[in-house]
Amino acid sequence: MKVLANDGISQSGKEALEKAGFEVNTTTVAQNQLVNYINTNEITVLLVRSATKVRTDIIDNCSSLKIIGRGGVGMDNIDVEYAKSKGLHVINTPAASSSSVAELVFAHLYGGVRSLYDANRNMPLEGDSKFKALKKAYAGGIELRGKTLGIIGIGRIGQAVAKIAIGIGMKVIAFDPFIEEVDLQLDFFDGQTADFKIKTIAKEEVLKNADFITLHVPAQKDYVIGKKELELMKSGSGIINAARGGVIDEVALIDALNEDKISFAGLDTFEEEPTPAIQVLMNQKVSLSPHIGAATKEAQDRIGLELASQIVEILK
């Protein structure tokens, strides 16, 4: 049986599939050529990440397909229910990238409270001529320890974020429409553990009381954070989106940044990918990364191995 990993797969995942007898192809096939390629090569398993879209044209016209796999959490690039109604298995790896995404959230948070995102833009330009002026400009940093982190969506990734926050001495509050409370266990290097319980509260209370907001929700039709929600947030607070583009109203966000309502934003995902709005890219208060939350070697290894395990279980 043949596997097409159209957006790539880790070497460990590829080797696990080959050991189980699968032929793994990592050729990247253009979206408009996928149907023909899958049929010509009798592909049984199509693996994608966020780049490739698996819509009804592929589902209806590729009779050899038995499994569609998404390396990651979000499934918005796959017509999941339609595929299942046609008898296909749809799999993903919801837990594999949690730690990597959580660490990126804190990369943006630490960079935000010390203005590193802006300093890294200006130091190459003016570091040799205006060093003292830049030193003064970036001297108003704050610490994360002792501050309150508000988590919108406390599923797997939200919980991974909460663990880091607790570990560095932050207070954690959370909202989730589907979860009333979570039990967290922090594991330390010497084998010790510590247990924490977080009870979710109203979204409005999280927005009003958090020093920083981080979003961990799936793609949806309406904004999770729009003008009304931004107005509820503390003046001078920060916001991070390493979840999905479109959960924050970027126009309202830029307005809030320009009005100093929000001190900084960290964005890993954008409303318009792969061409984010220029006003977002050029705003001096936005810390930017190109949708790399799960893009660590460790996460990719876990994703590849987890996909391989599910595929073998279904087909072998």
Residues taking part in catalysis: 244, 272, 291
- The span from the CA of 306 to the CA of 93, in Å, is 7
- The span from the CA of 68 to the CA of 80, in Å, is 9
- The span from the CA of 4 to the CA of 29, in Å, is 9
The helix or strand, by DSSP H or E, that contains position 68, with its residue range, turns out to be strand 67-70
Q: 92 with 69: CB under 8 angstroms?
A: yes
The HSE-up count of residue 194 (CA atoms within 13 Å, CB side) is 9
- The span from the CA of 309 to the CA of 11, in Å, is 14
- The span from the CA of 93 to the CA of 73, in Å, is 6
- The span from the CA of 131 to the CA of 123, in Å, is 8
Tokens 């100093």, residue?
260
Nearest 5°: CA angle at 173, between 168 and 179? 120
CA distance readout (Å), 190 to 161, 168, 186, 187, 193: 21, 17, 12, 9, 9
